[in-house]
Amino acid sequence: MTRFAEGLGEQRAEAETEAGTELPAELREMTPRMQANLPNRLVLAVGRDSREQVPLSGPATRLARMLGTDVAEFPGGHRGSTEHPEGVRRTPPGGSPVIPTAAARPRHGRTMAQPAWPLL
């Protein structure tokens, strides 16, 4: 923030720039527990009507397999949220039903410790 302010031509007092940059000890201790209780942040999903169309469903299915998770199925096709807004709205956050991806079987002998490409 200090560099941003300098770019705008502002000068900030040192105490002002350093204040509040570290969490109190109580919050630092709680952070891992709070993060563990968070729901999944990524829902890999396919539209029920486009599930068999590999160009549309393939990327989510392959990514789910690599991450060891399942693919959620939502109503409609590729544009399900506009084609069936009520059905999508009523679908639970993780989708329903879940489509197994055989994640337990690593493909080509790779595991999550050995990705097919370098991680960024």
Q: What is the pLDDT of residues 5-42, one digit of tens each?
A: 776 666 655 545 555 678 888 888 888 888 777 766 67
Let me know whether 49 and 31 are in one domain.
Answer: no
Average pLDDT over residues 102-114: 41
What does the pLDDT read at residue 10?
Answer: 62
Let me know if residue 120 belongs to a domain: no
Let me know whether 71 and 98 are in one domain.
Answer: yes
How many structural domains comprise the chain?
2
Angle at 59 between CA 102 and CA 113, to 5 degrees: 55
The residue with greater pLDDT, 120 or 16, is 16
Domain around 27 = 2-36
> In what helix (H) or strand (E) does residue 85 lie, and over which residues does it extend?
helix 85-90
Number of Cβ atoms within 10 Å of the Cβ of 3: 7
Let me know if residue 118 belongs to a domain: no
The pLDDT-based confidence of 75 (bands split at 50, 70, 90) is confident
> In what helix (H) or strand (E) does residue 117 lie, and over which residues does it extend?
none
Average pLDDT over residues 100-119: 41
* Contact yes or no for 63/43 (Cβ under 8 A): no
**DSSP assignment, residue 109?**
G
* Contact yes or no for 48/75 (Cβ under 8 A): yes
Let me know whether 96 and 65 are in one domain.
Answer: yes
pLDDT surpassing 50 at residue 120: no
Let me know whether 51 and 27 are in one domain.
Answer: no
> How far is residue 42's CA from residue 58's CA, in Å, rounded to a whole number?
16
Give all strands (DSSP E) within the chain, no chain letters.
45-47, 71-74, 98-99
Let me know if residue 53 belongs to a domain: yes
